[in-house]
Amino acid sequence: MVSEEEISNVAKLMKIDLEDHSSHIKRVQKMLEYFDILDRANVESEEITVQETDLDKLRDDKYVPYDKDLLKFLKSYQEKYVKAPKLN
């Protein structure tokens, strides 16, 4: 079980200001339960296939400036950032 004190300590380490630590206990506990499920999956004997790609086959990484006229089509933006909806 995750305690409110542990949530508070992790929030401090991550420099996150949480007003109500108790509201996050159930969320964190649920995440830890999923990790337990993954730990019990017993996939050590499974073969992992990896597709390798040569570096010369990758595209060139180049800066392409955006057209400032695109901002007028966005519903919510601030300076050069687009505001996304809050995820729960």
Whether 87 maps to a domain, the answer reads no
- What is the separation, in whole angstroms, between the first and last Cα of the chain? 22
Host domain of residue 34 = 4-39
With a threshold of 0.75, does the pTM exceed it?
A: no
Split the chain (88 residues) into runs of 10 and give each run's mean pLDDT. Answer: 81 81 80 89 84 88 80 71 73
Whether 13 maps to a domain, the answer reads yes
CA distance 31 to 22: 15
- The domain total for the chain is 1
Whether 14 maps to a domain, the answer reads yes
Whether 11 maps to a domain, the answer reads yes
Whether 70 maps to a domain, the answer reads no
Whether 18 maps to a domain, the answer reads yes
3-state secondary structure 27-83: HHHHHHHHHHHHHCCCCCCCCCCCCCCCHHHCCCCCCCCCCHHHHHHCCCEECCEEC
Contact 21, 11 (CB under 8 A): yes
Whether 34 maps to a domain, the answer reads yes
Residue 25 confidence (pLDDT): 80
Whether 51 maps to a domain, the answer reads no
Residue 88 confidence (pLDDT): 67
